[in-house]
């Protein structure tokens, strides 16, 4: 029985670490996840490794932003279904087309300026970490709009911006 438990623990650990590496490789910018990898490698007992992997997995629902960037917030499948039910499919798609156009235009503009951009795919929260280590957390499920853009500079508060005038918002925030 003890051998079976040890084998099961190894499988759970392997699965958890596999998930961790899959999630890390899908991110555009993995610099802020180096400590997660280092911590996992420094721990030596199976129980501690499992604990570290489990703790790390809970952080995958939060996007951590600690540098000058734009964060593009898009709805998950659940929020899309909910909104379609509330306003009807036709109205949903009419609005979605507009949002997607402005999101794309904003992306192109910010890419041309070489500003780091993040997407919140499969995230529930965004945590903006300031230079002084204080932070703001945004619960994405509580935002009234499905599509949003936030600007962030570690020296100031994050700001939700109007994507229809992204160039003016950029000049105003990052002056």
DSSP letter assigned to residue 156: S
Average pLDDT on 17-40 reads: 36
Q: What are the CA-CA distances from residue 102 to residues 59, 92, 108, 162 (Å)?
A: 30, 16, 10, 9
Residue-level pLDDT at 47: 43
Q: What per-residue confidence (pLDDT) applies to 59?
A: 67
The position carrying tokens 């911006």 is 161
Rg (CA), the chain: 20
pTM score over 0.85: no
Q: Summarize the confidence of residues 151-163 as an average pLDDT.
A: 97
Q: For residue 53, is pLDDT > 60? A: no
pLDDT of 43 strictly over 70? no
With a cut of 90, say whether residue 25 has pLDDT above it.
no
Residue 14 has pLDDT above 50, yes or no: no
Measured between alpha carbons, how far is 60 from 58 in angstroms, rounded to an integer? 6
Q: What is the mean pLDDT of residues 27-31?
A: 39
Q: What was the pLDDT predicted at 11?
A: 36
Q: Is the pLDDT of residue 126 over 90?
A: yes
Mean pLDDT, residues 53-63 taken together: 62
Q: How confident is the model at residue 98 (pLDDT cuts 50, 70, 90)?
A: very high
């Amino acid at each position: 029985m003890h051998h079976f438990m040890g084998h099961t623990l190894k499988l759970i650990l392997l699965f958890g670490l596999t998930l961790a590496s899959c999630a890390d490789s899908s991110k555009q910018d993995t610099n802020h996840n180096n400590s997660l990898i280092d911590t996992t490698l420094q721990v030596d007992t199976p129980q501690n490794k499992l604990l570290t992997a489990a703790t790390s997995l809970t952080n995958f629902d939060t996007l951590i932003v600690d540098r000058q960037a734009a964060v593009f917030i898009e709805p998950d499948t659940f929020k899309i279904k909910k909104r379609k039910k509330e306003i009807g499919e036709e109205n949903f798609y009419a609005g979605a087309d507009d949002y997607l156009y402005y999101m794309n235009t904003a992306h192109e503009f910010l890419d041309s300026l070489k500003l780091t951009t993040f997407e919140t795919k499969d995230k529930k929260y965004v945590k903006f970490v300031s230079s002084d280590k204080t932070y703001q957390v945004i619960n994405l499920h509580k935002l009234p709009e499905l599509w949003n853009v936030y600007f962030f500079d570690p020296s100031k508060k994050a700001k939700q911006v109007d994507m229809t005038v992204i160039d003016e918002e950029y000049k105003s925030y990052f002056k």
